[in-house]
């Protein structure tokens, strides 16, 4: 009975853990989706910034004849390049974070898969079947115990009768032995 209680507790714990990890998996999945969307948004902004940079570079080449314009264009170019580099660094960081989150998700899925191997409904079904078998064996054991006690009682009664008859036989004198033999033959018949 103790092991059955322990098994039920293990099943309850397993269901609790499964619920807990499923929530974590869902949270991680949504986080990955949002980060993926942010990454695509950043890539679009980088592309638009690059397009802007290219347009500005085209404008710079047109204004290259003027030295003042050239200096201003070069300054803008440096600023835009710095912005683009920062955006690329952010994209790289987000890519790394997405990769780590994907690894975490894979680990959580394998752990969840390992937890699902125990299959609580099947274990509960086996537990119920084992309980029924135990009840049947207990009933059979009780019946056997009752019949054993009854046989022992009858055995002690018979032993008592044998002792009484031996005592009567010993009490009889040697001359009365033929009568005892006749009494035993009558009892046997």
Averaged confidence pLDDT in the chain: 84
- Stretch 128-145: mean pLDDT: 94
List the one residue out of 129, 103, 147 whose CA is nearest residue 4. Answer: 129
Whether pLDDT at 15 is above 90: no
Q: Picking from 55-64, 87-96, 142-151, which range would have the lowest pLDDT averaged per residue? A: 55-64
Domain boundaries in the chain? 1-118
- Stretch 20-24: mean pLDDT: 80
For 161, half-sphere exposure in the C-beta direction (CA atoms, 13 angstrom radius) is 6
Whether pLDDT at 112 is above 90: no
Instruction: Tell me the percentage of the chain whose pLDDT exceeds 70.
Output: 87
Contact 137, 25 (CB under 8 A): no
């Amino acid at each position: 009975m103790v092991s059955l209680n322990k098994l039920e507790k293990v099943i309850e714990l397993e269901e609790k853990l499964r619920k807990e990890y499923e929530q974590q998996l869902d949270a991680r999945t949504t986080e990955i989706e949002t980060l993926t969307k942010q990454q695509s948004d950043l890539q679009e902004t980088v592309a638009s910034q690059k397009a802007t940079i290219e347009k500005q570079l085209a404008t710079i080449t047109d204004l290259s004849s003027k030295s003042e314009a050239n200096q201003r264009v070069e300054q803008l170019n440096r600023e835009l390049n710095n912005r683009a580099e920062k955006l690329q660094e952010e994209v790289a960081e987000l890519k790394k974070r997405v990769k780590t989150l994907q690894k975490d998700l894979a680990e959580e899925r394998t752990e969840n898969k390992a937890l699902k191997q125990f299959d609580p409904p099947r274990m509960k079904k086996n537990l119920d079947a084992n309980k029924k078998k135990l009840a049947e064996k207990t009933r059979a054991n009780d019946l056997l115990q009752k019949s054993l006690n009854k046989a022992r009682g009858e055995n002690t009664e018979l032993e008592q009768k044998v002792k009484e008859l031996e005592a009567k036989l010993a009490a009889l004198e040697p001359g009365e032995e033929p009568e005892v033999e006749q009494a035993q033959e009558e009892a046997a018949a």
